[in-house]
Structure 1
Amino acid sequence: MHSEVTELKAVVEQLRKEVTRLSDQEDIRKLQYTYGYYLDKCLYKEVAELYSDHPDTCVEFLGGRYNGKEGVERLYIGRFAKAFVSGRNGPVHGFLLDHPQMQGIVDVNPEGTRAKGRFRSMMSAGTHESIKDTHPRGLVQWWEGGIYENEYIKENGAWKIFRLKYYPFWHATFDKGWAHTKPNYVPFLSKTYPEDPNGPDDLCENPMMWPDTRVVPFHYTHPVTGKQVADDDLRAPEFGKDVSTSTPQLVLSRPKSETVNGQA
């Protein structure tokens, strides 16, 4: 009888851990989906409040890294709000900026304190012709596709975004499509803060943009083999050429507190 009770307790404990893990995964997906809905409507204050207060918090975007909560606010409440909605918090009439969050794969660490997630966004954006003379973008329509490889942290019982790494994989005008995207269609960030008042704290190595098709590294291993994708298979040489001719593979940054000499 004693052995059966012990066995049942072990089963209950295992089920408790599994329920907690699944609940954490769902909470993180909800967090990321909420991020997308706020971003759609330029609710940048609410977006910034989804981020952790941890000193290693960051956003990586267009070849730049915005560090800490201050950097997060500089990107969303500074750069984005000023460029898209004239500094207000919320949408402006006639401006579209939809960010669907899709294909979420979330993995929580055994302690239930940190997690990683991979998501995809397929953005449609532009202005209505009625505001072409009043919005700084004029009359424009464009598409964007991107990959997130994010990290999350649980603070005071709530999951928050820890390190958001967004790779806008491709851009395209609405009329001609991605086959005709001009090189450097959206220029990478090139000046850091404070030289650029709304700029990043650091510049990232080897940024990518279509037609560059390198693979954003996966935080997870292959679900069947348990192996990581080989580094060379993440690169993208020209058709028929050796992989050694390709730009180096992308590398996911790590928190400075977890790296040697503080290099992320």
Structure 2
Amino acid sequence: MSIDLQASDVSSLTAQVERLSNALIKVTGESDVRKLHHKYGYYIDKCLYKEVSQLFADHPDTYVQFLNGRFKGKNGVDRLYIERFAKRFVGGRNGPIDGWLLDHLMAQDIIDFDPNTGRAKARIRALMSAGTHESISTEFPGGYRQWWEGGVYENEYILENGTWKILRLRYYPFWHGSFELGWKEAKNFVPLFKQQFPADPLGPDELLEDFSLWPDTRVVPFHYNHPITDEKVAEEDMQAPKWLEDASTAPPARSITDWGV
């Protein structure tokens, strides 16, 4: 039995296969990036900082933005995770210590992969429960304490030699709050950076001025446009003026100036 296909049928089938192939590439890439970030979360929960660092691209544009500091390149990534965090949280080891809690819940992830660039962007919400057990040593930095933390990631990822890696990790914590009172007792349970590297041997390569926690409620810019109108949110709508005051009286909107660079 033979099937007589017209040239137009072949052309239509070819176009359909191409569309499906492109859709599969995009969906697969977004799934891989989602898994990559959640794996990052599981590693950082347990202070596996060597494994965390290995998730980052060996690229000149690689950085981690944390609190008011930016750690640049793989050297900066290692300085933050393997040196600073490991030293201060787990005494320099790779892995957890008894009585130290750092659970990161990752949710509401929106992943967008552009196959033409080999890069992806992600917005992911984080809710962290952190603190120490009463049995922990009195010499532990910060002592006996527990707190909550909420924030959002706006990250970029890159295909490096066929493997997805983190290119730019931007984490914006919105609030810290005590375990007992939540954001009613909002304060910086993790201190801000005061000096850059090398003045601070474990400090960031760059200090960021545009950073503050609760009650600041300015919007972290979205990497995506509105799904219906295809427009970006207006800059003044991302500000947070006082009650019944005009946006012109409020601090400037947050900005991300190096997307896609």
Q: Give yes or no for TM over 0.5.
A: yes
TM-score tier, shorter chain, comes to over 0.9
TM normalised by structure 2 equals 0.95
TM normalised by structure 1 equals 0.94
Report the Cα offset of residue 244 of structure 1: 1.2
SS in 2 for 1:100: strand
Report the Cα offset of residue 110 of structure 1: 3.7
Report the Cα offset of residue 132 of structure 1: 4.5
Q: Match for 2:185 among 158, 166, 180?
A: 180
Q: Which amino acid aligns with 2:206?
A: D
SS in 2 for 1:149: strand
Report the Cα offset of residue 188 of structure 1: 2.4
Distance in structure 2 (CA, Å) of the matches to 1:235 and 1:185: 25
The alignment status of 1:73 with 2:85, answered yes or no, reads no
Cα deviations by residue, 1:217-244 (Å, 9 ceiling, x for unpaired): 0000011111111000111111111111
Q: Match for 1:220 among 224, 235, 252?
A: 224
Distance in structure 1 (CA, Å) of the matches to 2:148 and 2:68: 19
Match of 1:239 in 2: 243
Distance in structure 2 (CA, Å) of the matches to 1:185 and 1:140: 9
Match of 1:248 in 2: 252
Distance in structure 1 (CA, Å) of the matches to 2:137 and 2:229: 53
Q: Match for 1:122 among 124, 127, 136?
A: 127
Distance in structure 2 (CA, Å) of the matches to 1:127 and 1:185: 12
After TM superposition, the structure 1 = structure 2 runs for residues 128-143 of structure 1, keeping only pairs within 5 Å, are 128-143=133-148
Q: CA RMSD in A?
A: 1.4
Report the Cα offset of residue 205 of structure 1: 3.1
Distance in structure 1 (CA, Å) of the matches to 2:212 and 2:26: 34
Identical columns (%): 55
SS in 1 for 2:194: coil
Cα deviations by residue, 1:113-149 (Å, 9 ceiling, x for unpaired): 0011000110001111111424223111000001100
Shift of the 118–80 alpha-carbon distance from structure 1 to 2, 3 Å rule, reads same
Match of 1:47 in 2: 52
Structure 1: gaps of 5 or more residues: 259-264
In terms of Rg, which structure is larger? 2
Assess if the C-alpha contact under 8 Å between 2:147 and 2:189 holds in 1.
Answer: no
Assess if the C-alpha contact under 8 Å between 1:127 and 1:138 holds in 2.
Answer: yes
Distance in structure 2 (CA, Å) of the matches to 1:150 and 1:78: 22
Report the Cα offset of residue 185 of structure 1: 5.1
Q: Match for 1:108 among 81, 90, 113?
A: 113
Structure 2: gaps of 5 or more residues: 1-5
